[in-house]
Structure 1
Amino acid sequence: MYATVGHDDTGSIVVYGPHDTPAIAPNDGAVTVAICPAGAADGTTGTLAEV
């Protein structure tokens, strides 16, 4: 899963998604990031599970 992170006209951060495939963001400073699957990270510490 992927999400696109960018900003709106007020400068606030906005997140669009989830997407099944990486989205190509327009050249406006937005980035596409991978989202960890459920259970891959500890919700209290953010530590990723061992592969």
Structure 2
Amino acid sequence: MYATVTRDTGRIVVYGPHDTPVVVPTDGAVTVAICPSGAADRTSGTPAEA
């Protein structure tokens, strides 16, 4: 899963999730991978122990 992160009037906006990386115009937006369910500790945001 992927999300697109961009800025809009001084704030950060996240769009997603998307099944594939989204190609965005050169407006400063980036596409980032999202950890699959269970891969991150939801209380701290760190990767879960392997």
Q: What is residue 22 of structure 1 aligned with on the other side?
A: 21
Question: Percent identity over the alignment?
Answer: 76
Match of 1:11 in 2: 10
Q: Deviations over 1:11-48 (max 9, x none)?
A: 21111111000001110100000001110001112221
How many aligned positions are there?
49
RMSD between aligned residues: 0.9
Structure 2: tracts of 5 or more residues without a match: none
Runs of 4+ aligned structure 1 residues displaced above 2 Å come to none
Give distance in 2, aligned partners of 1:44 and 1:14.
22
One-letter identity of the residue aligned with 1:26: P
Unmatched segments (≥5 aa) in structure 1:
none
Quote the Cα distance in structure 2 between the aligned partners of 1:17 and 1:44.
21
More strand by share: 2
Structure 1 length-normalised TM: 0.85
Letter in 1 for 2:24: A
